[in-house]
Amino acid sequence: MEALKSDGSAFIQAYSDCMRGWRHGAEDAVKISKLATDSGYWPIYTIRVEEGVPTFSYYRGLDIDKDKFVEYLQSMGRFRHLFKPKFRENEINEIIFQTEQRNNKLKGLIEQFGAEKPKDLYRIDRKELKTQEHLLPGHGLCPGCGAGMVLFQMATAAYQVAGNNMIYVNNTSCSEVSTSKDNVTSWKVPWVHHLFESGATVADALATAYKILKVKGLYGKPMEEDVPYIIHIGGDGSTYDIGFQFLKAALIRTSTFMEMSELLKAK
Ligand code: SF4
């Protein structure tokens, strides 16, 4: 909800468990997701930028707990080769080292710009929330799929802020194919599928088009007064991989996002 209310774009990176690809039981999805944070693999933090200066707040997960990290790796079939036929300590230590290096960069930024701690824990009474009407049951995501849980939570948050005045742009991914099977869709609000890499550009173009219509006085009744909120849903392909340049460009065009380094000084 905070991201949706921010001035300009906001970026949310959510840990989304894939029990089929990661090879574990559906019933373990939540337990493994919690272990990802408890082990230090997936820190939970927020960066808020005001007048060009970032402020960090984080909840936990910046320090590695080696025992829990090993437990995390062991909990998924995809890492079985690290434990059978023998315990591959060097490879496991290398994964932990790489994760520590990444967390140290984040710690460096927090040291440089300061942080509020612990603040980044959102506790919400679900009973106070209206039930979302964006994504309906009947989609084909696997039972226990993290993407399904994330989509439902995201749609619930979006519904509190924007009601049904919402457009989703969805890159090619499990969430896309599973919610738009054949000629039926699980989305009750406008939803656009776009290529693996360029959803962020399409979302930015849609948002810009609506803003131009509004500025020109061409956006009004019978359409709703407020221009729609746009959410772009992407997986690792459209954020870390081939779509990174599109995402980065869209964020920088439409908000106060910038490149950050621990060598920068706060002013
Ligand atoms: S639907 Fe979800 S759990 Fe199933 S393969 Fe896709 S991401 Fe993985």
* Predicted structure pTM score: 0.89
Give the three-state DSSP class for 190. coil
Residue nearest to atom 1 of ligand 1 (CA): 141
Mutate to test the pocket of ligand 1, among 16, 33, 139, 145 (most ligand atoms within 8 A of CB): 145
Q: How far is the CA of 55 from the centre of ligand 1 (A)?
A: 34
Task: Round to whole Å and give the CA distance between 134 and 152.
Answer: 9
Averaged pLDDT, 200-227: 84
Report CA Rg, the chain.
Answer: 20
Q: What does the pLDDT average to over 14-40? A: 95
Give the Cβ contact number of residue 138 at 10 Å: 10
**Residue-wise pLDDT tens digits, 226-243:** 889 999 999 888 888 898
Distance CA 45, CA 56 (A): 7
Closest CA to 42 of 24, 20, 25, 17: 17
